[in-house]
Amino acid sequence: MQRVIVQSIKKNNSWSFGWLSFFWFHRAKLTWFHGSSQDINFSTYTGSDEIKTTAWTSYFSRLPTQELALGYRPRIAERPYLPGSTSGDFLNFFLDLKRVKKPEEFDIKGWSRVCRELVDAELPVYGAILVRNLPLCNMEDFKTFLQNLGYKFFEHGVTGYRTPLGEHVYTASDDPPQVTMEPHNECSYSPFFPKKVIMFCVKEPDSFCGGETVLLKNQDLTTILDPEVTRKFEEKKIRYQAFLPNKNTEAGLQKTWQDRFWVDDPQAVENTLESNGWSFSWDKDKNLRFWYLHSPVIPHPVTGEKMWFNQLTCYHASYYRALPLFENTSIPDDQFPFHSYYGDGSAIEPAVLQHIRAAMWSCAMGFRWRTFDVAILDNKQVLHGRMGWSGERKLVTSLIDE
Ligand SMILES: [Fe+2]
C-alpha cells in the first residue's frame, strides 16, 4: 500500500473569521523559510507507486509551523561531543524553525504596525482578536511588539493581584492555578479601567489540563439578565469595598497594601486612591479599607446600548470563600480582599448573585492557548475569566488606556 506523508509550508494570505462567533482569529503569514518565495513541500513515501502530486492537496492539510517550533534554544557552540563546535565560528544556538527567516519579513516592529491597524479597525466590531504565529518567541519579543503598538498604557495603580515584569507587562494573575476565575471586565470596580487587555501566552497549558481563557460578550449577558436585577443595581449602584491588611499585623491572609501598591508609605497610597476617586479609611492596626460606588452598566462604545459592566460577583466575599487560600476560615465579609454591596451598604441577596453567575457561565466560551499567542480584548465589550489548570501554564498581560 502506498503511504505518503507530506508536510507543506506555504504562504497564506487568507484571514479566518468567525471563531467562537465573535472572536477574530488571525494566522500570520507562514513564510518562515530563508530565501523562498514559493511554496515549499516536503514529501517522503514508501511503496512503488508513483505519487500523484496533483491529488495530494485533497488528502493532506498544512501542519502549522507552530507545532514544529522547538520552544527553546538548544546550544550548539562548545557543545560536548559535537565536532567543530569549539572552533569559535559556530552559532551559539541551533536555529528554531520559526527563527529561520527573511529579516525583512520578521521585523517585530512591522508586525506591531500591521496588528495596530487590525486592532483599531476590527476590535470595536468583534470585541476580541487572537493573533497566532507572530514571530514572538519570548517575553522580550513580546515587549518589543507591545511597545511598538504605540498605545498609551493604563497606569492608574489599582490593577489587581499581579507581579510587575517591567515595561508595562505583568503576570496575568497571581491567584493559584487551581482557581477558576469568574468572568469580569478588568478593573470595572474602579473609576478608571483599561480600554484594552492584551495577553501573551509564554507557556501554553498541557492538553486537557485546563487553563482556557473564558470570554463572553457584555451584550449577550445583558440580554439574559433579569431586568429587575439590573434596574435595582442601577437605582442603588454597587459599592466595591477593598480590604488590605498592614504587613505588620496578622489581620488577613491576603496580600498587604504594601504589596498591592508596591510602596511602604501610607501617604503614597492615599494619594493614589484620592487621584482615582476612592474613599478610604485606616483602622487602628493600619489596615486599609477603600471603596467606590459604581453604576452596574455603561453604554456600548459603538451602539450606545446599555450594557452590564462590572465585577460584583468575583469581588464578593462568596467568591473568596471558595478559594483555597480561605478554605475553612471564618473571617467576616469585610476582611476579604474585596466585598461588594448595594450602594446603600445593604447585602446583595444570594439568589441575585446566583442568577448573575448562572447567566455569565451560560454564555461563556473558552479557547485553547498556544505558546506565543497574543490576544487583544476590548474591555468594554468582553468579559474575561479563566479556567483553573494543573501543570505548567504562563500568561502575561498588559493593560491599555485607549
Ligand atoms: Fe482580569
How many angstroms separate the alpha carbon of residue 224 from the centre of ligand 1?
22
| pLDDT computed for residue 164 by the predictor | 85
- C-alpha torsion 122→126→130→135, nearest 10: 0
The answer to whether 341 and 190 have CB atoms below 8 angstroms apart is no
Whole-angstrom Cα distance, residue 143 to residue 140?
Answer: 5
Give the contacts of 89 (CB within 8 A, at least 6 positions apart): none
How many angstroms separate the alpha carbon of residue 218 from the centre of ligand 1?
14
How many angstroms separate the alpha carbon of residue 307 from the centre of ligand 1?
18
Q: pLDDT tens, 303-328?
A: 888 999 999 999 999 998 888 888 87
How many angstroms separate the alpha carbon of residue 291 from the centre of ligand 1?
19
How many angstroms separate the alpha carbon of residue 185 from the centre of ligand 1?
7
How many angstroms separate the alpha carbon of residue 251 from the centre of ligand 1?
26
- Whether the pTM exceeds 0.85: the reply is no
Whole-angstrom Cα distance, residue 373 to residue 213?
Answer: 12
Whole-angstrom Cα distance, residue 157 to residue 175?
Answer: 18
Joined together, the cell numbers standing for residue 33 give: 523559510
Joined together, the cell numbers standing for residue 210 give: 485546563
| pLDDT computed for residue 160 by the predictor | 58
How many angstroms separate the alpha carbon of residue 399 from the centre of ligand 1?
10
Sole residue written with cell 498544512: 62
How many angstroms separate the alpha carbon of residue 384 from the centre of ligand 1?
6
How many angstroms separate the alpha carbon of residue 96 from the centre of ligand 1?
33
Q: pLDDT tens, 170-220?
A: 988 888 899 899 999 998 988 889 999 999 999 999 888 889 999 999 999
How many angstroms separate the alpha carbon of residue 90 from the centre of ligand 1?
45
Using only C-alpha atoms, the chain has a radius of gyration, in whole angstroms, of: 25
| pLDDT computed for residue 183 by the predictor | 93
How many angstroms separate the alpha carbon of residue 214 from the centre of ligand 1?
10
How many angstroms separate the alpha carbon of residue 153 from the centre of ligand 1?
16
Whole-angstrom Cα distance, residue 343 to residue 13?
Answer: 52
| pLDDT computed for residue 95 by the predictor | 65
How many angstroms separate the alpha carbon of residue 212 from the centre of ligand 1?
13
Whole-angstrom Cα distance, residue 141 to residue 106?
Answer: 11
| pLDDT computed for residue 114 by the predictor | 82
Joined together, the cell numbers standing for residue 110 give: 512591522
How many angstroms separate the alpha carbon of residue 285 from the centre of ligand 1?
30
How many other CB atoms are there within 10 angstroms of residue 196's CB atom? 20
The answer to whether 377 and 384 have CB atoms below 8 angstroms apart is yes
How many angstroms separate the alpha carbon of residue 177 from the centre of ligand 1?
14
| pLDDT computed for residue 396 by the predictor | 95
How many angstroms separate the alpha carbon of residue 320 from the centre of ligand 1?
15
How many angstroms separate the alpha carbon of residue 32 from the centre of ligand 1?
34
Q: For every one of its 402 residues, what pLDDT tens digit does the chain have, with 9 covering 90 and above?
A: 333 222 222 223 322 323 333 344 444 432 222 223 333 333 333 333 443 344 444 554 555 656 656 666 677 888 888 878 888 878 777 766 554 444 445 578 888 888 888 888 888 888 888 888 788 889 999 999 999 999 999 876 545 567 888 889 998 888 889 989 999 999 898 888 999 999 999 999 988 888 999 999 999 999 999 999 999 999 999 999 989 899 877 655 677 888 888 888 999 999 988 988 889 999 988 999 999 899 999 998 788 889 999 999 999 999 988 888 888 788 899 888 889 999 999 999 999 999 999 999 998 988 889 999 999 999 999 999 999 999 999 999 999 998
The answer to whether 317 and 336 have CB atoms below 8 angstroms apart is yes
